[in-house]
């Protein structure tokens, strides 16, 4: 009964925000939210707003374009996430890149979609750049399929790289994707790697082991118990000419030239794999390896939290000034980008360690109700944050519904406060560091059965309102 009363009281709240969404949303952009749902009885009072999906997956919201107004400030630049269809045009090609791009059109389209304007800047770390780098590996392998070389010559690489950017932009991708992802034409040339031809490569490398290790990759185990990554590192070391027993870059920090050579040789290994694997299989492998890498670090930029430190030091009791200062600081962090659930855990730990080193020893996350979702982009003024899943994800474009992506709604999980200021190097591979469980009704009190329905509705309806109101 308590749950039902709470849901009825929230009905008007959700209706107001549904109206806000219709007013501001100017195309078909939407969020597909994945969430384990409570029993139907716990959200029947909200049926006027949304019917519960039988499969546990919300379909994209469809809004008739007849009711969507144009952007009200035509003389001003669009907000970062203001929904617009991509502006497409015919690519201006150099005419000097001897490649039939239509053969790799499926990967081209996926890359353009994942790096679409204007969403590319907020998903660059998790979605756009991993896919763009994978595309470059696949292109390099595809280019060399009918030759004995695994790389492109400098001049051809420059021409082809320009054509790649132009073709992607013609399909709606961000024209600055190369600078955004720190990629350049030299990435296609093998750089300083001494082995660049197929014959020498296959003589020096155990290619059977390499192909076996990377043909079938376990997405749940590879990041913590690497098989493909280890095989790639071994092959890269073998062709690099570096006389060492090292198996990773950490042991080479004193030799920048060796690090560059090893990284360039990894590009050659990727090219060889791209020759052997189908495009989609290669893309799946390269994307997963990128996810393993990006989920090891926090991509957010934390400025010195002077005001938070000043307000939160030496706390013995709840402090409104501390929470106000902390919330204001995190509100600025939220504007940076979307991050994954695993990145959110690392970011929360990194920031907590910063505060501890400055003398903030009280668990201010618990004191001020800071959740994991608070470190990712979310609706302005609303608790509708979106955490992306740690596994590779894509932006999906549909003619009728626009762009969509999947959120992992672990958003009510409390942010972990580090046990010490040195916890910035925590590993998520230990069994005890798996993602926290979703909150249960026992931990949330009597209102628990209603919170799920509220979170799902608000997350779907209001996620994109944030930057519209900045």
Residues 337-396: tens digit of each pLDDT: 999 999 999 999 999 999 999 999 999 999 999 999 899 987 544 556 788 888 998 987
Quick one: pLDDT at residue 181? Answer: 96
- Select the more confidently predicted residue: 316 or 32: 316
DSSP state of 89: -
Give the integer Cα–Cα distance in Å for 74 and 249.
Answer: 50
Give 227-282 pLDDT, tens digit per residue. Answer: 999 999 999 999 998 875 444 444 544 467 788 899 999 999 999 999 999 999 99
State the SS3 of 250-314.
HHHCCCHHHHHHHHHHHHHHHHHHHHHCCHHHHHHHHHHHHHHHHCCCCCCCCCCCHHHHHHHCC
| Residue 207, pLDDT above cutoff 90 | yes
Give 109-129 pLDDT, tens digit per residue. Answer: 999 999 998 789 889 999 999
A 10 A CB-CB count for 62 gives 11
Residue with tokens 């709470």: 6
Quick one: pLDDT at residue 419? Answer: 85
Q: What percent of the chain has pLDDT above 70?
A: 65
Quick one: pLDDT at residue 89? Answer: 65
Residue 61, classed as helix, strand or coil, is coil
End-to-end CA, the chain:
39
Give 294-345 pLDDT, tens digit per residue. Answer: 999 999 999 999 999 999 998 777 789 999 999 999 999 988 999 999 999 9
Give the integer Cα–Cα distance in Å for 401 and 62.
Answer: 6
Average pLDDT over residues 426-449: 48
The domains of the chain are located at 1-77+297-470, 103-294
What residues have CB less than 8 Å from 199, skipping those under 6 apart?
Answer: 148
């Amino acid at each position: 009964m308590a749950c039902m009363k709470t849901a009825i009281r929230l009905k008007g709240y959700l209706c107001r925000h549904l109206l806000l969404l219709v007013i501001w949303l100017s195309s078909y952009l939407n969020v597909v939210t994945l969430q384990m749902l409570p029993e139907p009885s716990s959200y029947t009072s909200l049926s006027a707003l949304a019917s519960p999906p039988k499969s546990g997956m919300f379909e994209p919201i469809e809004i008739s374009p007849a009711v969507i107004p144009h952007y009200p400030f035509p003389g001003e630049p669009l907000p970062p996430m203001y929904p617009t269809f991509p502006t497409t045009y015919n690519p201006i090609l150099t005419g000097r890149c001897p490649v039939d791009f239509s053969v790799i059109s499926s990967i081209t389209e996926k890359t353009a979609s994942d790096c679409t304007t204007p969403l590319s800047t907020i998903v660059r770390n998790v979605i756009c750049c991993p896919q763009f780098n994978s595309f470059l590996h696949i292109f390099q392998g595809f280019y060399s399929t009918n030759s004995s070389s695994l790389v492109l010559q400098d001049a051809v690489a420059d021409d082809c790289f320009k054509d790649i950017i132009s073709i992607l932009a013609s399909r709606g991708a961000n024209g600055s994707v190369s600078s955004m992802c720190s990629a350049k034409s030299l990435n296609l040339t093998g750089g300083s790697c001494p082995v660049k031809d197929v014959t020498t490569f296959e003589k020096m490398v155990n290619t059977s082991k390499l192909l076996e290790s990377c043909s079938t990759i376990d997405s749940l185990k590879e990041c913590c118990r690497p098989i493909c990554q280890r095989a790639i590192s071994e092959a890269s070391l073998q062709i690099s000419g570096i006389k060492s027993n090292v198996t990773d870059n950490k042991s080479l920090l004193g030799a920048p030239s060796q690090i560059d050579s090893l990284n360039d040789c990894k590009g050659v290994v990727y090219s060889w794999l791209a020759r052997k694997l189908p495009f989609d299989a290669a893309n799946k492998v390269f994307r997963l390896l990128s996810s393993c890498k990006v989920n090891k670090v926090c991509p957010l930029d934390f400025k010195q939290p002077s005001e938070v430190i000043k307000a939160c030091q030496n706390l013995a009791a709840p402090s409104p000034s501390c929470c106000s200062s902390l919330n204001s600081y995190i509100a600025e962090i939220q504007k940076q980008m979307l991050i994954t659930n695993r990145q959110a855990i690392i970011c929360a730990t990194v920031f907590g360690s910063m505060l501890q080193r400055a003398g903030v020893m009280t668990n201010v996350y618990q004191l001020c109700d800071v959740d994991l979702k608070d470190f990712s982009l979310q609706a302005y003024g609303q608790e509708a944050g979106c955490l992306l899943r740690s596994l590779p994800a894509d932006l999906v474009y549909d003619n009728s519904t626009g762009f969509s992506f999947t959120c992992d709604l672990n958003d009510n999980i409390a942010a972990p406060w580090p046990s010490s200021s040195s916890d910035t190097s925590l590993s998520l591979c230990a069994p005890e560091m798996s993602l926290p469980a979703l909150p249960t009704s026992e931990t949330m009190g009597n209102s628990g059965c209603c919170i799920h329905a509220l979170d799902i509705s608000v997350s779907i309806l209001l996620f994109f309102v944030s930057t519209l109101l900045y």
